[in-house]
Amino acid sequence: MNRLEGKVAIVTGAAGVLGLAGVRAMAAEGARVVMMDLSPTVHQRAKELAEDGYDITPYVGDVSVENDIAGVVALAKETYGRLDVLWNNAGLVSAEWILQDTDVVRISRDYLMRTLEVNTGSVLLGSKYAIPVMAESGGGSIINTSSVQAAGGDLALVAYGTSKAAINYLTKSVATSFGHLGIRSNALAPGLIPPPAPATGSGGPHRLEDVAPTKLVLDSQMLNAVGQPTDVANAVVFLASDESKFLTGQLIYVDGGVTGHLPTLSDRRRLASA
């Protein structure tokens, strides 16, 4: 407990599954958190966390709009007087959006550019406005949400994977340029973290197998388990805390071991069990 006592954090995409888990985990360790999300539901999520005794401030904004990013950083400084942690977590991840992300022949340039604008541009803007305020506070930790999708080529998700690969470079660039100011920059690459099941009759593509084929992923994982939002949240707390004070410029896979083996793993497993 209290690993983040006295620290002020901003979390983007804070009303979503991963963001909310991370906010709760950081707040439970003593952080004061500004929750940013495009959805007004961020106010309700912040209210629920405040009722649990956490110091939370909500902010509705679009991470692809520079004024909104500048506004959330200004809010953190005005409300709490400092900024120590920024988790750039927001991204275009709805099933409706992801299911349009196929290959370079079928996606449009506009689709690619919008994906980059939100997923990658928000990391650039967040870092741009957070770094000066963090420097005033004596340093800080920037955490970016990447993905295992950037680890290699695939048959689909070309825009998403490209945007996450660019985040990996931005992470190292920020670490290199601003480490002398005490600012650390690291990225987390989650593996399969299934979304909660939607309400019956909600409409639209929402089956997990439509977005992430669970069995195929598990066949390629070292660990025989599906990841949970708390697995990512725990890694965020570590990177936000002083326990990771000598760690920067790194990409950390929170993926159950999907990316750490030869590509023949699933075939060898099948042969061994035959």
Q: Please answer whether residues 182 and 140 qualify as being in contact, where contact means their C-beta atoms are separated by less than 8 angstroms.
A: yes
Active-site annotation holds for 169: no
From the list 169, 175, 167, 163, the residue with the least C-alpha distance to 131 is: 175
How far is residue 166's CA from residue 262's CA, in Å, rounded to a whole number?
24
From the list 250, 82, 119, 60, the residue with the least C-alpha distance to 174 is: 250
Out of 59, 129, 160, 253, which one is annotated catalytic? 160
**Dihedral-angle region of residue 139 (phi above 0 means left; psi in -120 to 50 means alpha; beta otherwise):** left
- Which active-site residues does the annotation give? 160
